[in-house]
Amino acid sequence: MLLKEIFEWTKSIIFALIVVFIFNIFFGITTVYNTSMIPTLVEKNMLFISKIAKIENGDIVTFETEIKLTKMDIQTLSPIKRLFVSEDTNKNLIKRVIGIPGDKVEIADGEVFVNDVKLNESYINTVTMGDIYIEEIPMDEYFMMGDNRAVSLDSRSNIVGLVAKEKIIGEAVIRFWPIFDFEIF
C-alpha cells in the first residue's frame, strides 16, 4: 500500500515538473520594477511573456542589458528573487518596440517617425526628448523606448542602444497582476 502511494506521488511530481519545464521553454513570468512604462505598466505589475512570439512594432518586450544590478535594484526584488541575483547580474528592462530590422527611425522635436510616418502614440503622456536618426535598423536589432519617455533608459541612450534579437527574452502577452488590471496585450 505504501509503495503504491509513493509511486503515485512520484508520478504526480514528475508530471508537474514536466509541465513547468515545458511552460518555461515557451513562456515566462516577469515583474515590473520601475516607472519607465507608465501609464501602460506600473511597478509590481506581473506579466506572462511569450518566448516564441514574433517581435513586431508596438510590442512590449523584456530584454537583457549589459547594465549590472545595483544594491538598490536588488533591494526592490522579492526575497526569493534576491537569492538568485547579485551585483554581477545583468539587468532586464521592459520597453516598447518602436523599430524593427530594416526600419528607419527618427525622433525630432518630440515627434517619433518610423519609415517617415509619424507614430500615433496614445500610450505616452510625456514628451519624447532627444533627437535620433537611424537610416536603417540593422538585421536582428531593435529600437526600444519606454512609454514614460521622461525617465526611460532605452535605445535613445548609448548605455542601452539598439537591442540585439538574442537579448530579447520575450513579449508581454498578459498582465495578470493585480487582478483588477488584467489585460491581454
**Catalytic sites, residue numbers:** 36, 95
Angle at 132 between CA 123 and CA 97, to 5 degrees: 40
Taking every pair of Cα atoms in the chain, the longest distance, rounded to a whole number of angstroms, is: 76
Strand, coil or helix: 64: strand
- C-alpha span between 97 and 147 (Å, rounded): 10
